[in-house]
Structure 1
Amino acid sequence: MNTIKKVLMLSVIAGLFAACNDDDSKDNGGNDGQKNGVITSLDDPDYDANDLKGAIGADIELPAGEYTLTGGLIVRPPYTLTLNPGTKIKAAAGGTNVYVIVEQGAKLDAQGTAGAPIVFTSNASSPVAGDWGGVILCGYAPISGGGSAVTEVVDHFYGGDDANDSSGKLSHVEIRYSGARINGEKEFNGLTLYGVGKGTTISDIAIYDGDDDTIEFFGGNVNVTNLLCVNAKDDLVDWTQGYKGTITNVYAIRKAGYTDTSSDPRGIEADGNLDGLYPDQTGQSSPTITGMTIVNNADAVFSDVFKIRRGSSVTLTNALVKWGSNAPAPEDFVDCTDSAGDANGSATLTVVASGANLDINDNKAGANNATINVTEGSTGGADTSAFSWTGFSF
């Protein structure tokens, strides 16, 4: 997006946001009994557990139970939406019009338990990937090049200079059948983290059957622990625009029989800056990943198992790749090259791998000579016992 277009878009969005705040002044100051799209209490006429949508305009705690999400649910600053353990939010199969987004300065407190996780899923009788958007957090943490930007979908701000920013707490959360697509360039994911800071805690997350990536980071430095990624149409883990956090203990798999993929699906897709358009920006991506397993038992092609490019670095240790006997060979095992810029020379990948159709020597270090250490074997990677709460069969 060119600079003039971006400034105009930001101005329009700011104006609309201000207008919405003016229209909602009665509701925030004292409900007048009329619907206005802003939920300020569980007694508000805009609150309906079977028709959940609109803006969260106060600190709201939803009792444990089942809810039907029928449109965009937007948590506004400085408020917190709290979901209790055992809560299930079933999204109407409305594609890109149904999602949950937490704006900058707002928080989502979704702390489930091993015995009572919080579940976001589709309400379709026969759910499929892309039935609804997904869960999005927007924070004030830095992005490459500094400043702020507008989200790829639904046009909200993210980015800033607060590395310790908090967008809330997520633990023991499942996200299913998300990732609706606006077009080939704009897609929701299971969980999308825009400029999310390390004051946010994210652990014990399971994301299943998405129509794009399971998880994507746009800048920020949030740390994620115990992440299960199952059957993404596109990438299992994706980052861009200066992401610098840590990902610890992640198990990512395409199961046997899975066939629905994008044109270039990957285990990891990593960009240093947004779309490779800003190679000279400061603050390019450089996350640390420890304890990762990637399994492909599907008969769908991977473009690459690891694609590190466009100025991104990474420190990847204790990684394990297991390739099923019916899984076709990927185009590349590790590829650190790209027409919009190769990986940063500090990128280091240490991987153990096995599979009849897997060439562990098919590696491209790129012009900056990333360090790639691959050995044959079948041990290491993620500790799957951390995912026992999901009931997933490994």
Structure 2
Amino acid sequence: MKNFTLTICLTLFALSNLVAQQEKGIIGYDNWLNSWTEFTPNTVEYGEPTQILSGNISEDTKLYKKDIYLLLGSVFVTDGATLTIEPGTVIIGDFKTNGSLIISRGSRIFANGLETDPIVFTSNRGVKKQGDWGGVFILGNAPINKFGNESAVNYGLKPSSYNNISYGGDNANDDSGIFKYVRIEYAGKRTKEFGYFNALTLAGVGNETTISNVMVSYCYGNSFNVIGGEINLDKMISYRTSSNDYEFNFGTQCKITNSLAIRSPYISGANGSKCMYVASYDEIDEVDLTKNKTDVIAENLTLVNVSDDLASDIQIGLVKEALYIAPDVSVSLNKTVISGFNPAVILDNRIKVDSENLDRIKFTEMYFNNCNGNIFTKNDSNNDDLENWYGNSVFKNVYSKGADSETFIDLKNPKRPDFRLRINKIIASND
């Protein structure tokens, strides 16, 4: 009887600790990276194309798992058509013609993969490399902050009509479809005139669109490039991209949850790429500042730099900040892990450190680990004001110098890594 009572007490004690545990970084009782992700895409053989996609898709079309599709040049879904992609379908971007898929404004995509059968976009080269093909564009009718509330993606896409590359409007509830359980590999081709493509560009996308469980790996441009719109993102993964993992600009209203960025100093570009870049404009005279400024709410993110020798990589300039915040934006990070950066956060030097701006830039219940400094203003080594503000106990931020093996459950597993935070040997979970 005593043993039974002791067992109950120990169980209740363990459960009370679990409930009390602050849940930071990506969460879940199970490792939701399992089953649908691929961290070694160069080892996967997808087969040869059996169907070609080219030009405009102007009527409802379905792609089937039994076929492998080649994106030949710029492929546009236009005229209000819906492109449906069956779970497990493989779509290959052509290297020579810079294969890309563009869902034009007013059209929709239903790429609704399954955890056991994701949809894959990848390269057609025998030896796959970053930037082998273009990427995927979803263009919608939701607001942006540029003058006229409309703009266009260019990149040399060669549409048959300007409308096919236009985005922006006045419908925050716009619905561009579903993009779920999808992998995008080796995208982000570089062009002479227009720079790098991005793996997934969401331009003027509305909040009725579902974007979740999307993995981008080995992209040369940004993994996720969000231009204006109003969108919710959940369970995003950016793995070893060369440019920014997540970029938000031109009045984006975005909530991003339970998402991951994994950087490598040996792959990241030398131009100062980051996990997150948040801005409201590139040039101030191109936007209407009476419209929405970019507002990003991020919760339960894990931003991690995986380095074999972090101190050395920092010293030789291979490691940059995790998050860069430009002027005229609102940013809120909550229950997020930032591990292994130099430093964790940089504020643009045009942002005055005052109560108004600090109210718009929030860091709460954070876990800053193994960073060479935490929050700084660009080109200013004195961050006492910022440290004193965000270090206040009311924000419940935590600072640590733990090794990766002590911080994450199984970061080094090559096939099925687990980036959930380990605190006191309790897995961060949410329900």
Give the root-mean-square deviation of aligned CA atoms.
Answer: 3.0
Q: Which structure is higher in RCO with an 8 Å CA cutoff and minimum separation 6?
A: 2
C-alpha displacement of 1:393: 1.9
Shift of the 99–274 alpha-carbon distance from structure 1 to 2, 3 Å rule, reads: same
Shift of the 220–302 alpha-carbon distance from structure 1 to 2, 3 Å rule, reads: farther
The farther-off stretch of 122-131 and 48-57 is: 48-57
Shift of the 262–344 alpha-carbon distance from structure 1 to 2, 3 Å rule, reads: farther
| TM-score in terms of structure 1 length | 0.76
Is residue 320 of structure 2 the alignment partner of residue 303 of structure 1? yes
For structure 2, list consecutive stretches of 5 or more residues without a partner in the other structure: 1-48, 308-312, 392-396, 419-431
Shift of the 372–301 alpha-carbon distance from structure 1 to 2, 3 Å rule, reads: farther
| TM-score in terms of structure 2 length | 0.70
Name the counterpart of 1:149: 151
Which AA in structure 1 matches 2:373? D
Is residue 395 of structure 2 the alignment partner of residue 393 of structure 1? no
Which AA in structure 2 matches 1:89? I
Structure 2 counterparts to residues 185-200 of structure 1, below 5 A: 186-200=195-209
Name the counterpart of 2:131: 130
In structure 1, C-alpha distance between the alignment counterparts of 2:240 and 2:193, rounded to whole Å: 19
Name the counterpart of 2:121: 120
% of aligned pairs identical? 27
Residue from 82, 85, 98 that aligns with 2:84: 82
Which AA in structure 2 matches 1:150? A
SS in 1 for 2:191: coil
Shift of the 184–263 alpha-carbon distance from structure 1 to 2, 3 Å rule, reads: farther
In structure 2, C-alpha distance between the alignment counterparts of 1:230 and 1:75, rounded to whole Å: 28
In structure 2, C-alpha distance between the alignment counterparts of 1:341 and 1:192, rounded to whole Å: 31
Name the counterpart of 2:272: 264
Is residue 363 of structure 2 the alignment partner of residue 354 of structure 1? no
C-alpha displacement of 1:340: 9.2
In structure 1, C-alpha distance between the alignment counterparts of 2:175 and 2:191, rounded to whole Å: 28
Larger Rg: 2
Which AA in structure 1 matches 2:361? A
- Whether the 8 Å contact between 1:50 and 1:69 is mirrored in structure 2 is no
Name the counterpart of 1:334: 345
In structure 2, C-alpha distance between the alignment counterparts of 1:253 and 1:187, rounded to whole Å: 20
Name the counterpart of 2:68: 66
For structure 1, list consecutive stretches of 5 or more residues without a partner in the other structure: 1-47, 324-328
Name the counterpart of 1:34: none
Shift of the 275–268 alpha-carbon distance from structure 1 to 2, 3 Å rule, reads: farther
Shift of the 159–59 alpha-carbon distance from structure 1 to 2, 3 Å rule, reads: same
Shift of the 260–274 alpha-carbon distance from structure 1 to 2, 3 Å rule, reads: closer
Which AA in structure 2 matches 1:310? P
Shift of the 296–223 alpha-carbon distance from structure 1 to 2, 3 Å rule, reads: same
In structure 2, C-alpha distance between the alignment counterparts of 1:55 and 1:361, rounded to whole Å: 47
In structure 2, C-alpha distance between the alignment counterparts of 1:201 and 1:361, rounded to whole Å: 33
- Whether the 8 Å contact between 2:263 and 2:275 is mirrored in structure 1 is no
Shift of the 60–263 alpha-carbon distance from structure 1 to 2, 3 Å rule, reads: same
Deviations 1:52-86 (A, max 9, x none): 21111110011113112221110003110000000
More helix by share: 2
How many equivalent pairs are there?
Answer: 329
In structure 1, C-alpha distance between the alignment counterparts of 2:154 and 2:350, rounded to whole Å: 22
Which AA in structure 2 matches 1:220? G
In structure 2, C-alpha distance between the alignment counterparts of 1:338 and 1:393, rounded to whole Å: 37
- Whether the 8 Å contact between 2:83 and 2:108 is mirrored in structure 1 is yes
Deviations 1:341-385 (A, max 9, x none): 999541212331111x5222545699x989745531369xxxx99
In structure 2, C-alpha distance between the alignment counterparts of 1:391 and 1:202, rounded to whole Å: 24
Shift of the 140–279 alpha-carbon distance from structure 1 to 2, 3 Å rule, reads: closer
In structure 2, C-alpha distance between the alignment counterparts of 1:183 and 1:338, rounded to whole Å: 31
